[in-house]
Structure 1
């Protein structure tokens, strides 16, 4: 459960309970079904659902489906799936703003009848110009003083599909000189001729979010309407609408908290859609995206995401969250549950010349260094093995800890070896390194263990070829959301595919979630059924608490 003990939202709720002890706490999560949920939504989900749980209240899932041009049933299904995967259950059936369209229409008519709304024939650009700026007052629309009867007639004709899309709209009549631009006669209804995923073709006029949201909150008896700071000025309109429509008995209250911004990441659904359209990512569940489904596809667990939401907390201060914090949450969650295995991503072959090519030896290796209950496994040692290319260097610096000609290292859980000669192919690339091993210097000798640097390895006779998908940050820019051109900020090396080797035992293993490949990172096996196909592993996160550069 997210830690809400000391944040300001919790204090507000405690105070409201003191004032109205019999009033049941009701929250809501109101996503727009125009894309998949991202980790910023996870923060809101944890907050709203955990508050309801903490105070024996309820939390509604209500889809803000007021713009059929951008919304789709597939997004509705994806959102439900993500919330359930995170481990939350909404109150009764999921709800839709479209469930209330008839009531919302009547409330709009009520505003017109009270001379608080009018039909405007200015186009969108003209409305923007008339609205003014923070420094300049707005100007009244020439249609602002239409007679009430004429407004009612026109609004009914809008509903009946008489007018073209964009030709007119319904605006609130508030104050074009208000210091809050949101109160300068905001649009309440607009004409949209698009099929709706819930109401089909029943409607051709749709309420704006600001008009519908506060009314539906009141109808559902929401007590605390929690949203991000970008809606802080919208609260003025929220209060105005409820007051003018006489929702005066225990009306819902809106409270704002800071939205999530994450290093090297974009969470804007509009920008994510642009990445999808330009084929820079493979859909909403691409493992490089920080959508909930993308993180799940990469190998993140629900516990790691909820722990992250707990650590960042709920505040009013907007700041950039380090990506390393999210990565540390998944490392901690996977550390004690992930069995260890050997894997080589960038293989170079070693031939141990003082071992017969038919020789095979089985050595014991722990499945987890800290959990004896996980047991041990047998790893095969033979004269032909693979190590990482980065673990061999012809001209190393003084801090290099890998294999060097004429010097010795220890193979993990195995023997001490020494590199003696390099063999190259016709392209002058290293094809093989000839080594010798010391039979008397094994892992059982503690003095040997402490005297030599250790590298990991895998026998060619105990390995299978697999594909590794290595993910890096999607954007080179630390503050990608602020970039005017996200395409230019895109990291072309955000996914590198390598072909290497893993222990053959993996082929038929069924494990709880992920593996830790020793000295490399945590990996998720993607394809469970792989007859006649290459096994694919997604790298969830590296072992180090920093961004690991890929081996070129």
Structure 2
């Protein structure tokens, strides 16, 4: 099979303004709630129409268990599991555990939990690349016996120098002519542990002059004396990704092998390996077909694993599950929902063209989902006392508020009312600015779900700070009574009974970075992880591991991305919440009226110690003017 020429990296496009507003030159606005296109649905529909794979659809999600999943992985999970579900197929969860130095069972468990949290299940199809180590080794011996692979004994520097560039062919290794018998003997000695790391590497014999550097005798086995978290010390040679991935797909009878665009130039190698094995009677046909889609490029975040590690190790965040981190464990703790992620994946669609998605699109999806499902509750985040001077001391009554204004079937809840209330400090101005319709001396407002009150003055401390606001109430204006309609006022504020409100820790989270492209890299130029192949490949191996998107040391930046950290990304306050929230369970999601959507913290919330995290504000505070 001839090798396809490598594709020139394409820079991601700018965030599409049509996602949120009408485009220029009369282009009609795109409905942000409408699903975007997904070219893979058309591919699968055509395959089913033609009877390819007997009408079956089998996909897989193949992460390397060397870290925590992030937002980009959510897109891939939803795509692979979603396409399988839409077509009555199945999706496998397969761990690409071929690098024992970086991998750990802790990461496997976290990945599996995240996939389940997103709403998917793999049934009996939880696999590992290490499940196939014996077959992979046997196939490697077969390649050697057929004269299609050889053991190369060059040093790492020599291997690197001989690979060539995108414009110059590679140079054949002096060991390329090594006989199959000699290579097989050496390979078995490698397997037996006779050589140190780096002494030899097994390479396929393809074409050192190929314009696609991935076809220039890629390495498929390396020596690595390291204990594996599943196989222990049974192996001291490990297969490399490009070799392992395609064979694992074929052994599992995957039909559609879906990966991101950076693997487009690896497809000829994918096909070459499994075609040779099928021709030799080692694999069954029909063989899997690889398809590539554009990865998620999201503003205001970094998804590079190297940078995420730096954020954690440098103490810039509070761990991998910090709600500001773009990890799925962080998203869950922040209060983002699986349904919101699925809505996001549907709205941005699947294409082969790289583009930037604005963070506001993801946040809008979370708002839309939470708006539909989150019950309403009252919280006062910056409290100041409001005293109703003409209300009886020690008396209280119940007011009734809807649990969800768009879902009357959820009923109403009782909210206690008393003489002293907590209100938001910014709901009072002693000298109101024009257009201010909340409390000020002589002004009237409605206390939501309760009465109309009129401000009569305020108490201040020696520094001039307001310590309490005084008012009188009109007993005939209680909400839900005929008197409520007799008088209208413009202002409407929320409140809590001071005697009944529950103190709570509230964490106000916002975007971790203040700039859309942290480090001010040129978003219209080449991204680091789309760098020319020779800038990122390791000697003897022309690939980056799937999910290991940290190959960005050559990325052009204008300054350190850490300079763009948002100093206001986390603010912890003590607030008051309504009594019902004292019984909230961890991960209960609610809307704090007038404030936003919050969640009872997965780690720290407890009875008697409520802790709520802000997931997203009610409106996009980052919207451009």
TM-score computed with the length of structure 1 as normaliser: 0.91
Q: Which moved more, 1:305-314 or 1:224-233?
A: 305-314
Q: CA deviation at 1:509?
A: 5.4
2:87 to 47, 55, 58: 55
Structure 1 CA distance, aligned partners of 2:326 and 2:443? Answer: 44
- After superposition, residues 379-458 of structure 1 pair within 5 angstroms as 379-443=415-479, 444=481, 445=483, 450-458=488-496
Q: CA deviation at 1:63?
A: 0.9
Structure 1 CA distance, aligned partners of 2:575 and 2:161? Answer: 60
Q: CA deviation at 1:210?
A: 0.4
Structure 2 CA distance, aligned partners of 1:221 and 1:501? Answer: 56
Structure 2 CA distance, aligned partners of 1:532 and 1:446? Answer: 37
Match status 1:81 vs 2:117: no
Q: Check whether the contact 2:506–2:573 (CA below 8 A) recurs between aligned residues.
A: yes
1:514 to 578, 589, 593: 589
Matched with 1:536 is 611
- Helix, strand or coil at the partner of 1:506: helix
- Helix, strand or coil at the partner of 1:451: coil
Matched with 1:15 is 46
Q: Check whether the contact 2:190–2:223 (CA below 8 A) recurs between aligned residues.
A: yes
Matched with 2:195 is 163
Structure 2 CA distance, aligned partners of 1:175 and 1:449? Answer: 86
Cα 1:132–1:393 change in 2 (3 A) is farther
Match status 1:297 vs 2:297: no
Cα 1:508–1:118 change in 2 (3 A) is same
RMSD value over aligned CA atoms? Answer: 2.8
Q: CA deviation at 1:68?
A: 0.8
- Helix, strand or coil at the partner of 1:461: coil
- Helix, strand or coil at the partner of 1:232: helix
Matched with 2:180 is 148
Matched with 2:507 is 469
Structure 2 CA distance, aligned partners of 1:148 and 1:529? Answer: 61
Q: CA deviation at 1:187?
A: 1.9
Q: Check whether the contact 2:584–2:600 (CA below 8 A) recurs between aligned residues.
A: no
**Cα offsets for 1:365-404 (capped at 9, x unmatched):** 2222233332223323323221112222344442434323
Structure 1 CA distance, aligned partners of 2:435 and 2:202? Answer: 71
Q: CA deviation at 1:60?
A: 1.7
Q: Check whether the contact 1:527–1:535 (CA below 8 A) recurs between aligned residues.
A: no
Q: Check whether the contact 2:36–2:350 (CA below 8 A) recurs between aligned residues.
A: no
Cα 1:405–1:179 change in 2 (3 A) is farther
Structure 2 CA distance, aligned partners of 1:215 and 1:257? Answer: 21
- Helix, strand or coil at the partner of 1:178: coil
Matched with 2:571 is 496
Structure 1 CA distance, aligned partners of 2:586 and 2:273? Answer: 55
Q: Check whether the contact 2:60–2:91 (CA below 8 A) recurs between aligned residues.
A: yes
Structure 1 CA distance, aligned partners of 2:191 and 2:463? Answer: 74
1:237 to 269, 274, 279: 269
- Helix, strand or coil at the partner of 1:206: strand
Matched with 1:288 is 324
Q: Which moved more, 1:47-56 or 1:506-515?
A: 506-515
Q: Check whether the contact 1:379–1:462 (CA below 8 A) recurs between aligned residues.
A: no
Matched with 1:201 is 233
Structure 1 CA distance, aligned partners of 2:610 and 2:152? Answer: 61
1:337 to 373, 381, 393: 373
Q: Which moved more, 1:381-390 or 1:114-123?
A: 114-123
Q: Check whether the contact 1:385–1:458 (CA below 8 A) recurs between aligned residues.
A: yes
- Helix, strand or coil at the partner of 2:499: helix
Cα 1:229–1:279 change in 2 (3 A) is same
Q: Which moved more, 1:497-506 or 1:411-420?
A: 411-420
Q: CA deviation at 1:85?
A: 2.5
Match status 1:139 vs 2:214: no
- Helix, strand or coil at the partner of 2:231: coil
Q: Check whether the contact 1:324–1:546 (CA below 8 A) recurs between aligned residues.
A: no
Structure 2 CA distance, aligned partners of 1:543 and 1:301? Answer: 16
Matched with 2:531 is none
- Helix, strand or coil at the partner of 2:505: strand
Structure 1: unaligned runs, 5 residues or longer: none
Structure 1 CA distance, aligned partners of 2:142 and 2:35? Answer: 40
- Helix, strand or coil at the partner of 2:369: helix
Structure 1 CA distance, aligned partners of 2:607 and 2:352? Answer: 54
Matched with 1:371 is 407
Q: Check whether the contact 1:515–1:523 (CA below 8 A) recurs between aligned residues.
A: yes
Matched with 2:162 is 130
- After superposition, residues 209-358 of structure 1 pair within 5 angstroms as 209-245=241-277, 246=279, 247=283, 249-358=285-394
Structure 2 CA distance, aligned partners of 1:361 and 1:333? Answer: 34
Structure 2: unaligned runs, 5 residues or longer: 1-33, 522-556
Q: RCO (CA 8 Å, sep 6+): is it higher in 1 or 2?
A: 2
Q: Check whether the contact 1:442–1:448 (CA below 8 A) recurs between aligned residues.
A: no
Cα 1:510–1:166 change in 2 (3 A) is closer
Structure 2 CA distance, aligned partners of 1:399 and 1:125? Answer: 71
Q: CA deviation at 1:126?
A: 4.2
Structure 1 CA distance, aligned partners of 2:36 and 2:87? Answer: 12
Cα 1:233–1:380 change in 2 (3 A) is same
Q: Which moved more, 1:304-313 or 1:47-56?
A: 47-56
Structure 2 CA distance, aligned partners of 1:400 and 1:37? Answer: 46
- Helix, strand or coil at the partner of 1:236: helix
Structure 2 CA distance, aligned partners of 1:19 and 1:482? Answer: 48
**Cα offsets for 1:290-328 (capped at 9, x unmatched):** 322222222222222222222222111212222222222
Cα 1:280–1:126 change in 2 (3 A) is farther
Match status 1:180 vs 2:212: yes
Structure 2 CA distance, aligned partners of 1:383 and 1:454? Answer: 18
Q: Which moved more, 1:521-530 or 1:147-156?
A: 521-530
Q: CA deviation at 1:537?
A: 0.8
